[in-house]
Amino acid sequence: MLDLCKDWQLPTVLLIDDDLVSREVIATVLTMNGYTVHTAADGAAALKLLSAEKCLPEVILMDAQMPGLSGTQLITELRAHSKAAIVAISASNPPDEVVAAADSFLLKPFSADAVRKLLKEPAVQAVFPSAPTPDPIEPVVNPETLAQLREMMPEAAVREIYAAIIADLARKQSALEAAIVKGDAAELRRIGHAIKGGCGMAGALQAARLGALLETEGNQLDNNSSLLRDLRAAALNLERMLEAEFPA
C-alpha cells in the first residue's frame, strides 16, 4: 500500500527505465511538477545508487520490461535495499507476476497528476487498452500534451524534448533495419515497445502508434519494412512540427 504520509508532500522518486526518451521525459515532467527525481538506466545502476545511499527515494518508478536485471527479481533486490513504494511502469500490459510483486502500476503515457493521484489513492487500478488503430487525421503531436509541456517549462526545454525524440528515433530506425535483416522478431518487438512508451509520454502520436504496431506485429517480418517506412515519415513529420512550433 502506498500510504506515504498523512500530510501530503511530494516524495523523492527513483526512476528506472532503460529507454532514454522515456527516462528523460518522465524525469523532466516530474521535476517540473516539484518532485525530486533520481534516474537509473537499468536495475544494476539503481541498486548501485541505493547501496551507496546516493538517493533515498520514497517511491521507485520501475519499467516493467527491461533487459538485464528486471521484473520480479529486480523488485526483490529493490526491497532488500529500500523501503520505498515500488510502482511498475510500462507501455504495455506487464507480466502478471510483476504487477503482483509491485505496490502498484502505471501505464505509459502518464502525467505527473496520475503519479500524484496513484500515490494518494493507491486503490486506483490501471486500464490496459488495446493497441491503437490508425487515424487518417491523426495529429503528429497530441495538442493537449504539447500545451501541458509548454505550461510546465520554457519553450527551449520543450524543444529539447522533441529534438531528443527525433534523434532517438533515428537511432532506433537503424536498429530496426538491422533487426529486420537478421529476422530478429524479439528485437523488433522490444524496440517497438520502447518507441511506444517514449513517444507516448511526449504525445508524439504517430510515432507511438507505429511503435505499438511494431510491438504487436514484430513476428510479421514482411510487414515491418512498411512500418519502418511509416516510422521514417512520422519522424520527418515530427521534425517539421518542431521547426514550425519552435523555430531555432
Per-residue DSSP letters for 112-132? HHHHHHHHH-TTPPP--PPPP
Answer yes or no: is pLDDT of 13 > 90.
yes
> Can you give the pLDDT at residue 226?
82
Judging by beta carbons within 10 Å of its beta carbon (0-12, 13-18, 19+), is residue 199 exposed, middle or buried?
buried
Architecture in CATH for domain 143-245: Up-down Bundle (1.20)
Mean pLDDT along residues 183-207: 90
Mean pLDDT along residues 177-189: 88
Mention every residue, 6+ apart, whose C-beta is less than 8 A from residue 146.
158, 203, 245
Question: According to CATH, where is 1.20.120.160 located in the chain?
Answer: 143-245
> Can you give the pLDDT at residue 1?
39
> Can you give the pLDDT at residue 127?
43
Share of the chain above pLDDT 70, in %: 87
Answer yes or no: is pLDDT of 149 > 70.
yes
Per-residue pLDDT tens for 212-230?
988 887 666 666 778 888 8
Which three cell numbers, joined as nine digits, stand for 69? 536485471
Which three cell numbers, joined as nine digits, stand for 13? 522518486
CA 201 – CA 158 distance, rounded (Å): 13
Name the residue among 141, 157, 120, 117 with its Cα closest to residue 207.
141
Query: Residue 204 carries which DSSP code?
Result: -
> Can you give the pLDDT at residue 107?
87
Please give the mean pLDDT across all residues of the chain: 84
> Can you give the pLDDT at residue 110?
82
CA 184 – CA 13 distance, rounded (Å): 35
Answer yes or no: is pLDDT of 133 > 50.
no
> Can you give the pLDDT at residue 218?
66
Label residue 130 by pLDDT band (50, 70, 90): very low
Answer yes or no: is pLDDT of 4 > 70.
no
Whole-prediction pTM: 0.78
Which three cell numbers, joined as nine digits, stand for 66? 527491461
Instruction: Give 119 or 40, the one with higher predicted confidence.
Output: 40
Mean pLDDT along residues 56-83: 92
> Can you give the pLDDT at residue 86?
94
CA 243 – CA 88 distance, rounded (Å): 35
Burial 29-67 (b: 16+ CB within 10 A, else e): bbebeebebbbbbbbeebbebbeeeebebbbbbbbbbbe
Question: According to CATH, where is 3.40.50.2300 located in the chain?
Answer: 12-120
Answer yes or no: is pLDDT of 7 > 60.
no
Answer yes or no: is pLDDT of 94 > 70.
yes
CATH number for 12-120 (one of 2.30.40.10, 2.40.50.140, 3.40.50.2300, 3.10.129.10): it is 3.40.50.2300
CA distances from 51 to 81, 108, 145, 165 (A): 7, 28, 36, 32
